[in-house]
Amino acid sequence: MKYVIAVGFHKLGETVNQTKSAKGGAKKILCEHNSFLKTTHIFWRREIYKPFVIVAPSQDILQKNRVYFRWHFMHVTETGADTMFRRRRWLACLVGDHRSVEEARQLNLDQLAEKCLRSSTHTVDQIDIDVPRSGVVLKEEKLSLRRVLMAWCALNEFGYVQGMNLIAAALLKYMREGRYPEHDALACLSGVMALNAGLLPFHMEDEEPMKLASVVVSKMWLQVSVVEPSLQQQLLQILDLFEIACLRIMSVCFVTFFSPDTLHVVWDYVFENDDSADDKTSSRCRHVFSSAVLLQKKLWLFGEDAKQNFVIFEATCGLMDEQQIVKIVDLAKYLERLEKYN
């Protein structure tokens, strides 16, 4: 069942009459129509805002009560109220303040795409091969994804690597409700790629990503062993598989690991400002990976073939529902606190 959501922001401590009347109207709707009011705090544009979220059976009810002043309407599911703030949270965490976001939105993506086409036809050919594999169906979505990837290549000497198409496609999916979906997705793509930049090879003979993956997996193994000592020997014999998986999974921030329908739960946690980030890798990505291993404890303990267990582990993570992913994120937060204070 779908509801109409009205959202408005006011600064904490604000005493504007319109804000007061909006609050009164919100309470009136709650009493008359048995809806709910959700209040949280978000940090945006260097100020703390308190959003009102009113859920009502129809937009007419909201309009009759004149609560649409400084508010906007959108249709979401019962559990989708947080999606309205996700785009802004991700932009704030991955891009920066309002000025940085506005600078990104001033870019001319068509000109950047033409620049990429002139400078590297090989890169464009690879993008054209990967775009149809990105899970997008509509022609407009494919063109939008292609434009974002080509603009990225024009702006970054690092160039294009396979897997970026999946990240960009996922970002476009969550940014499409905004006024500048392509610009916002491009800006966030830079932030996502920087999270685990050390795991991306610069050339065919680059050995640094593999060395770094070995360090990351060693930390994961120690972390899992502390929390669950019974898994220590079980995982020791397949650390090489975890190193390869680390390069494949963490370098693209779990796009190929979790379902597209649940990926946002992991990203909400990973994209938050991480003061304890490791050098060239995201410690929160490591915590998520460790949590996924811990939650499948029985597989590692009772599975007969260790390598086959790893294949089952990857397949199972891709089939997890949102409730299971929430458990992984909760455990990752626990591991983060455990590492911070020990």
One digit per residue, the tens of pLDDT, for the chain of length 342 reads: 333 444 444 433 333 333 333 444 443 333 333 333 333 333 333 333 344 444 444 444 444 444 333 333 333 333 344 566 788 888 888 888 788 888 889 999 999 999 988 887 888 899 999 999 888 888 899 999 999 999 999 988 777 888 899 999 999 998 887 789 999 999 999 889 888 888 887 777 778 888 999 999 999 999 999 999 999 998 998 999 999 999 999 988 999 899 988 999 999 999 886 554 455 678 999 999 999 999 999 999 998 888 899 999 999 999 999 999 999 999 999 999 998 887
- At 84 the pLDDT is 60
- At 199 the pLDDT is 84
- At 119 the pLDDT is 84
User: Which residue carries 């997890």 as its tokens?
Assistant: 320
* Pure H helices in 139-282: 139-155, 164-175, 181-195, 208-227, 232-236, 239-249, 263-270
* 3 state DSSP class of 181: helix
- DSSP string covering 198-229: GGS-SSTT--HHHHHHHHHHHHHHHHHHHH-G
Tokens, residue 226: 């502390």
* 3 state DSSP class of 302: helix
- At 43 the pLDDT is 34
d(CA 261, CA 321): 8
- DSSP string covering 100-133: HHHHHHT--HHHHHHHHHHH-HHHHHHHHHHGGG
- At 186 the pLDDT is 93
Give the pTM: 0.74
- At 200 the pLDDT is 80
Which residue, among 94, 342, 93, has the nearest Cα to 219 in the 3D structure? 342
What are the residues whose beta carbons fall under 8 Å from the beta carbon of 213, sequence distance 6 or more? 199, 243, 244, 246, 247
Tokens, residue 281: 């890798």
Residue 234 CB coordination number (10 Å):
18
- At 178 the pLDDT is 79
CA distances 292 to 33, 168, 249, Å, are: 42, 24, 12
d(CA 209, CA 154): 24
Ordered by start, the domain boundaries in the chain are 2-81, 89-195, 199-340
Architecture of domain 89-195: Orthogonal Bundle (1.10)
Residue 39 CB coordination number (10 Å):
9
Which residue, among 207, 221, 149, 148, has the nearest Cα to 183 in the 3D structure? 148
CA distances 56 to 9, 52, 59, 63, 217, Å, are: 18, 13, 7, 11, 48
d(CA 31, CA 191): 43
Q: Which fold has domain 2-81?
A: Alpha-Beta Plaits (3.30.70)
The helix (H) or strand (E) run that includes residue 7 is: strand 2-11
d(CA 315, CA 192): 24
